[in-house]
Amino acid sequence: MTTTLANSPDTATVRGHCVPTGLFIDGHWRTTDSMFDVIDPATAQPIAQVSDGGAADALSALDAAHAVRAAWRQVSPRDRADLFGAAHRLLLSRADIFAEVMTAESGKPLAESRAEFALSAEFFLWYTEQIAHLHGTYAPASHGGYRVVTSHQPVGPALLITPWNFPMLMIARKAGAALAAGCPVIVKSAKETPLTCALFVETLREAGFPDGVVNLVHTTSSAAVSAALMADPRLRKVSFTGSTGVGSTLLAQAAPGIVNASMELGGDGPFIVLDDADVELAAQQAVVCKFRNAGQACVAANRIIVHRAVADEFTKRFVELTEQLTVGNGFDDGTDVGPIISEAQLDGVTELVATLRGLDTELLTGGAALPGTGYFFAPTVFRVAGRPAELCDRELFAPVATIYEVESTAEAIEFANDTRYGLASYVFTRDLSRALAVGERLDFGMVGINRGIMADPAAAFGGIKASGLGREGGHDAIYDYLEPKYLAVTVNEEEGLA
């Protein structure tokens, strides 16, 4: 049975669900002459073709966003929240559709897709609830005679560039905050996972979001599309999740026009297991933190740093749990780890493992791509001696775990901080005071204490140093799309009291 979601003449049927395949600009789906394939990484076969937009299409989307910017910012908080509420209800009614399409195009296990959808819907609900709570301030001037009134206004049209590894979470988190703040958006989807973005945008359209407020461009020419938008003075905001290299390029492009920028970039997550840790808990959480989404996550455990006193016990248990993971098609029952996203990415994992084999390391399990169709790689664990320059300060972004030993808590902290990145870090210890003391000394935007998963709508998600700027989630997220505005109001107190 086919589920129809799209009010579009151009659709693809994926797992029995009808998904729009065009670009969405100014309230309408439109098709381009050029198309590109969406590949299921579990089978290496195309599952759909979508329109391949270019710079001209992106600028048309900006035309639409710019034209409605004043009207959208003037929509009352209650009316805007009502639109969000309608969209949230529609999203929940389509949970299975989103999860199945997400698994089809990204390869992640269906259980992970369902969990990602649930978290995404929670983020969207959080922004729904925050819309009516964007408050300003009122205060007397320091020397009297007038009042200092501060409010917040939308930055303006925003470019949202989403990655392929969490296609639902990223668009819900970014678009939710931007739209709640009153900013119209142009979403540039990842070419590997455009279908989930299309379903999300179609759901907003059906919920009643006005024409031009939400726009979507798929493209295989990301650099050209982004450069054209970033050079246009009408664009006032860019939010990007992806590599630090691309983020640096976008920041350079943002500089001439002083475009407001939020960046969620690469990570080098140290996962610290101290000598008093609950080793079983640490091993279980390390497996989740490392191998979720086949290791393709910026917050994944990148360097597992273990105190020598528990290193053998932890390593033995971590390897046992890793070898219990089932690799396979995300739709198969019991699959724990899905495929790598693409053939090129799989080649990169193979090269990474070859590099590791050439260093002072010991391969404990895995270490090779799996035979057959699809882009599968065995969950892999290396024990690493010393601190090889080829590995340290490098984001692995693969189902490859590296375990390092240290002699002390001080050495663990020093090694953890020896990186240009500063996104997520993790500490395992039974002592709360110790956990707080170590957590406060880690130069990272987020620290997980005795847990390997941290994303939450109420939390400020983001990093420091080369891992980014700004926060997504929590009270900070919407304010990343707002600018404070100060009104100095003269008050003649004598006349006012006459």
Do 322 and 386 reside in the same domain of the chain? yes
Do 64 and 46 reside in the same domain of the chain? yes
Q: Assign 34 to helix, strand or coil.
A: coil
Domain assignment of residue 468, yes or no: no
Cα-based angle 124, 125, 128 (whole degrees, multiple of 5): 90
Q: How far apart are CA 38 and CA 30, in angstroms?
A: 18
Q: How confident is the model at residue 496 (pLDDT cuts 50, 70, 90)?
A: low
Q: How far apart are CA 288 and CA 319, in angstroms?
A: 13
| pLDDT at residue 325, rounded to an integer | 98
**Cα dist from 401 to 277, 297, 467, whole Å:** 19, 13, 20
> Which residues, 6 or more positions from 25, have their beta carbon under 8 angstroms from its beta carbon?
57, 60, 61, 64, 215, 216, 217
Do 164 and 247 reside in the same domain of the chain? yes
| pLDDT at residue 264, rounded to an integer | 97
Q: Which amino acid is at 2?
A: T
Query: What average pLDDT does range 198-227 have in this prediction?
Result: 98
Domain containing 244 equals 11-265
Domain assignment of residue 460, yes or no: no
Domain assignment of residue 336, yes or no: yes
Q: How confident is the model at residue 3 (pLDDT cuts 50, 70, 90)?
A: very low
Question: What is the DSSP annotation of 148-162?
Answer: EEEEEEE--SEEEE-
Do 259 and 130 reside in the same domain of the chain? yes
Domain assignment of residue 256, yes or no: yes
The full length of the chain comes to: 498
Do 182 and 72 reside in the same domain of the chain? yes
| pLDDT at residue 462, rounded to an integer | 96
Strand pairing of 380-384 and 361-365?
antiparallel
**Cα dist from 172 to 88, 91, 213, 372, 465, whole Å:** 10, 10, 15, 35, 25
Domain assignment of residue 491, yes or no: no
Domain assignment of residue 471, yes or no: no
Do 422 and 293 reside in the same domain of the chain? yes
Do 313 and 327 reside in the same domain of the chain? yes
CATH code for the domain in which residue 361 is found: 3.40.309.10
Do 244 and 276 reside in the same domain of the chain? no
Residue 2 has pLDDT above 60, yes or no: no
Express each pLDDT in 274-328 by its tens digit. 999 999 999 999 999 999 999 999 999 999 999 999 999 999 999 999 999 999 9
Give catalytic residues, as residue numbers: 264, 298
Q: How many structural domains compose the chain? A: 2
Residue 75 has pLDDT above 50, yes or no: yes
Domain boundary at 265, 299, 322, which?
Answer: 265
Express each pLDDT in 16-59 by its tens digit. 999 999 999 999 999 999 999 999 999 999 999 999 999 999 99
Do 438 and 337 reside in the same domain of the chain? yes
Do 289 and 176 reside in the same domain of the chain? no
Do 223 and 315 reside in the same domain of the chain? no
Q: How confident is the model at residue 476 (pLDDT cuts 50, 70, 90)?
A: confident
Q: How many helices (H) and strands (E) in the chain? A: 15, 23
Residue with tokens 């710079």: 55
Whether the Cβ atoms of residue 366 and residue 340 lie closer than 8 Å to each other: no
Query: What average pLDDT does range 472-498 have in this prediction?
Result: 87
Query: What average pLDDT does range 71-93 have in this prediction?
Result: 97
Domain assignment of residue 479, yes or no: no
**Cα dist from 406 to 184, 373, 459, whole Å:** 50, 40, 31
Express each pLDDT in 425-468 by its tens digit. 999 999 999 999 999 999 999 999 999 999 999 999 999 999 99
Mean pLDDT score across all residues of the chain:
95
Express each pLDDT in 175-188 by its tens digit. 999 999 999 999 99
Domain boundary at 265, 286, 308, which?
Answer: 265
| pLDDT at residue 383, rounded to an integer | 98
Q: What are phi and psi of 426, to 5 degrees?
A: -145, 140
Helices (H), 234-295: 244-257, 279-291
Domain boundary at 433, 449, 465, which?
Answer: 449
Angle between helices 244-257 and 222-230 (to 10 degrees): 30
CATH code for the domain in which residue 188 is found: 3.40.605.10
Domain assignment of residue 236, yes or no: yes
Do 196 and 290 reside in the same domain of the chain? no
Q: How far apart are CA 443 and CA 218, in angstroms?
A: 36
Ramachandran class of 254: left when φ > 0, alpha when ψ lies in -120 to 50, beta otherwise = alpha
